[in-house]
Amino acid sequence: MNQTMDSSQQSEPKLSPGRFANAPITPQDIGTNLPFKKREGPALAPTFHSLSRMGKLNAILELSSPEAFVQELPSQELHHLIHHIGIEDAGLLVPHTTPDQFRTLLDLDLWVGSEMCPERIERWIWSLDEFGPSDELARRIQQVDPELIISILARWCRIQVRETKDESPMFPHEAVVFTTPDQRYFVELVGDDANDRFPMIYHLIGGLYQADLEQAIQLLDQITMDTPSEVEEEVLRFRNARLQDLGFVSPDEAIRMYAFTSPKKALGDLAAILDGPAGSVFRHEGRPLGTALLGLGAPDNFLATVLGQTDCVERQEQFITAFTYLCNRSSTVRILDLSDLDRWNQEAKTIFGHLNIGLEFLAQGNHEAGGKILEKMHLLELHRVGFSVVTELSHMANTILKTLGSRDAQNLFDSPYAEVISALSSRFPCYTEVVDGGLIDRPFKSLYEVDRLRALVRDAQVSAELFNEHFGVKALEVDAADEAEMPYADVRLSSLWLTLLCQNAQNGTATLQAITIEQANQFVAALCAAPDQTIEKVTDASMSLLEQLSIADDLQVSALRRALIEPAAQRFADAFNRVQDHSYDPNILADFFLVDRN
């Protein structure tokens, strides 16, 4: 049915705060663990940050002036608070916002990177209609960029001037069409979701007319003339300019926080920094943004301890501001949805981890020195140091892959080396951790984790160099065209090592060539004659082979034992102990040797 209706005939359509599926789920638990005193309003209880979402909302509403509390909050902190509580409940705070706060709420919510999410404006229109006075939407429309309204309407509507009062043009049978309050225009909604978007568009145009009739006519006329993409680009420029004050700089500038700086050089330059004046954190005006809702995890690391010794309120607020600015910069690099608090908080933990690593590295574990560095050093530079300490691991991992000739060379290693190299070789290195019996990748939290994985990577590097220099081993690319014809393309170095041991035992030389099933059977029989001595025999044979290869350096030998010999011996013994009482299928040998089936 053609749905052309005059405003006088149209019943008020219902808005919804969470109609669209891309609205992120609000996290159940969120709260900062910064060790110094949180920057709370004097009327809030000290336990405010530990309250549930609804507990926080009730605590605000019980204040003598909730409106004053809302208006004193930094805009980004208010945005976090509303999304943490959930806009269905916290929407009643929105009518209390100042014009600047409301504009910032839209700036933070309606964009992901440079992509507009205009459907999200419905939840803000809903909150104004649901909890504000009857003219609240009209008043707020006058506080936002007209280009934003034009961009939203132009994307989903066709505006047609009604030449005469009796004119009733033909629209498609299924069209969603209504007339403006002055009967001057037909508004046709376009797209597959026209019915869903109708309440939002209807209320938006109604608010335009209620706010200013003349401006509404000018705006609707402009929609029929301007190019929507050009208007949207202009809105984005306005939005980005405002958010620069919150640390959301351009992508090119934001990525500089991840510029590599030599940790050793930074350590050498530290004395000059400590002798200089106190560092300016991030230049800003007005109140700090605050991080009262950031979930940083348990404060059991070096940076948290240093912060816990900081009792200067000014320095605390400088750190809060600088830290929030860093998180905002990083969210620009990662193109985060700023309304997705779970991801935003995860990024905050990553930044906190980099700062912790950088500070502990420069302070060499001395908390007093850490406090002086934190006072003198620009937080952006400190982050670069911490990230660069981690990135050095990434360089080492990629050197291993280059040595073995392929980005997929991590498949040549046993666990955990394979998983560690894979995680570290990414652009933003991760820490591989065993959780509930499974492996996950997460951001680095401490210098201890960096040092631990550095030892693993060094061991793997020695193994890679051994096989590259002595045997010319190269890994195939996963997508190589001829990989399907190579049944053992993913064989591990520990398996190649067993092949070398077999060749050496029977031929007196270690050559990386296929062995026959018969040779493999003989070698297995010799090693497994006494099952409880299998590991010892493999280890002894390995040490003899290292001597033949003229590898005598204690550090190299120790690394090869950890990364190559012990995994090979243990995996071999475990597998054959499982089948020692049965006749094993010769195919099992293919798991451990480069076998010539012919």
* Residue 478 · residue 569 · CB < 8 Å: no
Long-range Cβ pairs for the range 387-391 (8 Å, 24+)? 387/257, 387/258, 387/260, 387/354, 387/358, 388/260, 388/261, 388/262, 388/263, 388/266, 388/358, 389/263, 389/357, 389/358, 389/361, 389/447, 389/450, 390/354, 390/357, 390/429, 390/444, 390/450, 391/260, 391/429
Q: Output the pLDDT for position 250.
A: 92
Using N-to-C axis directions, what is the helix angle for 194-211 and 213-223, rounded to 10°?
A: 140
Q: What is the pLDDT of residues 38-94, one digit of tens each?
A: 444 546 776 777 778 898 899 899 998 999 989 988 888 899 889 988 999 999 999
* Residue 307 · residue 356 · CB < 8 Å: no
Cα-based angle 237, 243, 244 (whole degrees, multiple of 5): 90
CA distance 129 to 525: 82
How far is CA 320 from its chain centroid? 20
- The region of weakest confidence among 6-20, 370-384, 422-436 is 6-20
Nearest one of 91, 71, 75 to 26, comparing CA atoms: 91
Please name the residue that has the structure tokens 């001057």. Answer: 184
- The region of weakest confidence among 96-105, 258-267, 446-455, 473-482 is 473-482
CA distance 181 to 6: 8
Please name the residue that has the structure tokens 């071999």. Answer: 572
Q: Output the pLDDT for position 489.
A: 44
Taking the alpha carbons of 35, 37, 39, 45 in that order, is the dihedral positive or negative? positive
Q: Looking at residues 169-188, what average pLDDT do you find?
A: 87
Residue 456, token pair as written in the block: 């693993």
| Residue 278 pLDDT class (50, 70, 90 cuts) | low
Q: Are strands 176-179 and 185-189 parallel, antiparallel or unpaired?
A: antiparallel
CA distance 459 to 409: 15
Element (H, E) at 526: helix 517-527
pTM of the model: 0.85
Q: Output the pLDDT for position 143.
A: 92
Q: Output the pLDDT for position 10.
A: 55
Q: Does residue 289 register a pLDDT over 80? A: no
Contacts of 258 (CB under 8 A, 6+ apart): 333, 384, 387, 428
Chain mean pLDDT for the chain: 83
| Residue 282 pLDDT class (50, 70, 90 cuts) | very low
Q: Output the pLDDT for position 422.
A: 92
* Half-sphere CA count of 18, side-chain side, radius 13 A: 12
Q: What is the pLDDT of residues 303-315, one digit of tens each?
A: 888 887 877 777 7
Contacts of 309 (CB under 8 A, 6+ apart): 367, 371
Q: Output the pLDDT for position 588.
A: 61
Nearest one of 35, 136, 40, 134 to 81, comparing CA atoms: 40
Partners of 161 in beta bridges: 185
Strand, helix or coil for residue 40: coil
CA distance 326 to 554: 44
* Half-sphere CA count of 556, side-chain side, radius 13 A: 13
Q: What is the pLDDT of residues 207-251, one digit of tens each?
A: 999 999 999 999 999 888 767 788 889 999 999 999 988 889 899
Q: What is the pLDDT of residues 417-466, one digit of tens each?
A: 999 999 999 989 999 887 777 788 999 999 999 999 999 999 999 999 99
Q: Is the peptide bond before 416 cis (omega within 30 degrees of 0)?
A: yes
**DSSP letter (8 states) at residue 337:** B
Cα diameter, the chain:
103
Q: Does residue 262 register a pLDDT over 60? A: yes
Q: Does residue 177 register a pLDDT over 60? A: yes
Residue 193, token pair as written in the block: 């979701």
Q: What is the pLDDT of residues 528-547, one digit of tens each?
A: 888 889 899 999 999 999 99
Task: Tell me the helices (H) and strands (E) count for the chain, helix number first.
Answer: 25, 10
Listed in sequence order, the DSSP H helices in 33-86 are 53-61, 66-72, 75-85
Q: Output the pLDDT for position 285.
A: 34
